[in-house]
Amino acid sequence: MKETRKGMLLVISGPSGAGKGTLVERLLNKDPSFCFSVSVTTREKRKNEIEDVHYHFISEAEYDKLLEQDAFLEHASVHGHRYGTLKSEVYERMERGQNVLLDIDPQGARTVMEKEPSCVSVFILPPSYADLKVRLHTRNTEKPEEIQRRLNNARGEIAQMNRYRYLIVNDDLDLAFDQLSAIVRAEKQNSVRYFPEIGE
């Protein structure tokens, strides 16, 4: 039997503090068929972040230049900063049969879902708004006004969860990861990207 696979575009999204980053990290560690698409951003680097691993941190002028070059698959202003997914990070890899994972905000995810209807979109939900608030405070990476802005935005983002193909409530990390893994396993066999040729 001969098998051909087209790369999967997996879009993981959800409000800040829902636990996307942890789930993404686990999936990348467990499934070597995935590569992470590193987004660009104009925001400042956090203490725990590594340049070109978590983000490509660029200036406003560099961002404008990329916009002029039509280099983005999607781009958006989120929480007062600009973010974008580079086409070069996605399409070349998918053509080679690699699975590409995007960890992006709901605004950017919407654009990708419109441009790439066959993408696998997963929205990560917190168990409650109270949990979300605690998580944002305990990760200790944003100022209080930034946390409040993210909490305010979360309500609008969660209201649009029905746009996504799959929903996961991240109340128990192990269970949430099992659910994400099950989605990935099933989607690898989807006929839009899996082409087996059986023998005579």
Mean of pLDDT values over 175-200: 95
Within a domain: residue 163? Answer: yes
> What residue numbers bound the domain in which 187 lies?
2-37+98-197
CATH number of the domain at 114, please: 3.40.50.300
Q: Residue 10 corresponds to which tokens in the numbers above?
A: 């997996």
Identify the helix (H) or strand (E) that includes residue 102: strand 99-103
pLDDT at res. 145:
81
Mean of pLDDT values over 180-196: 95
- The per-residue pLDDT for range 132-187, each reduced to its tens digit, is 888 887 876 677 888 888 888 899 999 999 999 999 999 999 999 999 999 999 99
- Output the pTM of the full model: 0.85
- The per-residue pLDDT for range 122-134, each reduced to its tens digit, is 999 999 988 888 8
Mean of pLDDT values over 29-41: 93
Q: What is the residue-wise DSSP string for 116-179?
A: -TTSEEEEEE-S-HHHHHHHHHHT--S-HHHHHHHHHHHHHHHTTGGGSSEEEE-SSHHHHHHH
Work out the number of other CB atoms within 10 angstroms of the CB of residue 76: 18
Query: Quick one: DSSP state of residue 48?
Result: T
pLDDT at res. 178:
98
Residue labelled with tokens 């109340």: 171
Average pLDDT for the chain? 90
Within a domain: residue 43? Answer: no
In the predicted structure, residue 112 carries a pLDDT above the cut 90: yes
**CA 134, CA 55: separation in Å to the nearest integer?**
25
Q: Tell how strand 2-5 and strand 99-103 pair up.
A: unpaired
Range in 4-13, 117-126, 144-153, 188-197 with the lowest mean pLDDT: 144-153
Q: How many domains does the chain have?
A: 1
Within a domain: residue 159? Answer: yes
